[in-house]
Amino acid sequence: MTMPSTADLIRRRFPHASAAVLTVALCTVAVPASADSGPAGTTGGDTDAGARPTVVLVHGAFADASGWNGVIERLQGDGYTVLAPPNPLRGLASDSTYIASVLKNIKGPIVLAGHSYGGAVISSAAAGNPNVKSLVYVSAFMPDKGEALGQLAAKFPGSELNSALSPTPFETTSGKGTDLYIQPAKFHDVFAADLPAKTAAVMSAAQRPIAASAFTDKALAAAWRTIPSWALVAKQDKSIAPDLERFEAERAGSHTVEIDSSHVAMISHPDTVTDLIRDAAGSSSSASAPSDSSASSDASAGKPALADTGSRSLALAGLGAVAAAAVLTGAGLVLVTRRRRDTPSDPDASTAR
Q: What pLDDT shows up at residue 29? A: 37
In this structure, of 39-43, 175-179, 237-241, the range with the lowest mean pLDDT score is 39-43
Q: 173: pLDDT confidence band, cut at 50, 70 and 90?
A: very high
Q: What is the DSSP letter of 351?
A: G
Return the H-helix or E-strand segment holding 271. helix 270-281
Q: What is the DSSP letter of 53?
A: P
Task: Measure the CA–CA gap between 310 and 53, rounded to whole angstroms.
Answer: 12
Q: What pLDDT shows up at residue 81? A: 97
* pLDDT single digits (tens) 261-317: 999 999 999 999 999 999 999 943 333 333 333 344 343 333 333 333 333 333 333
Provide the phi-psi class of 117: left if phi over 0, else alpha when psi is between -120 and 50, else beta.
alpha
Partners of 57 in beta bridges: 113
* pLDDT single digits (tens) 3-15: 555 445 445 544 4
Partners of 258 in beta bridges: 233
Complete edge-to-edge strand list for the sheet that includes strand 82-83 = 82-83, 54-58, 110-115, 132-138, 229-234, 255-259
In this structure, of 15-19, 123-127, 182-186, 242-246, the range with the lowest mean pLDDT score is 15-19
Cα atoms in the 13 Å half-sphere on the side-chain side of 304 = 6
Q: What integer is the mean pLDDT of 107-121? A: 97
Q: What percent of the chain has pLDDT over 70?
A: 66
Q: What pLDDT shows up at residue 51? A: 77
- Return the exposure string of 330-343: e unless at least 16 CB atoms fall within 10 Å of the residue's CB, then b: eebeeebeebbeee
- The answer to whether 247 and 107 have CB atoms below 8 angstroms apart is no
Task: Measure the CA–CA gap between 112 and 134, rounded to whole angstroms.
Answer: 6
Q: Give the number of other CB atoms < 10 A from CB of residue 283.
A: 17
Provide the 3-class DSSP secondary structure of residue 148.
strand
Q: What pLDDT shows up at residue 4? A: 53
| Mean confidence (pLDDT) of the chain | 78
Task: Measure the CA–CA gap between 231 and 169, rounded to whole angstroms.
Answer: 34
Q: What integer is the mean pLDDT of 121-148? A: 98
Task: Measure the CA–CA gap between 314 and 322, rounded to whole angstroms.
Answer: 13
Q: Where are the beta strands (DSSP E) in the chain?
A: 54-58, 82-83, 110-115, 132-138, 165-172, 175-182, 210-211, 229-234, 255-259
Amino acid at 250: E
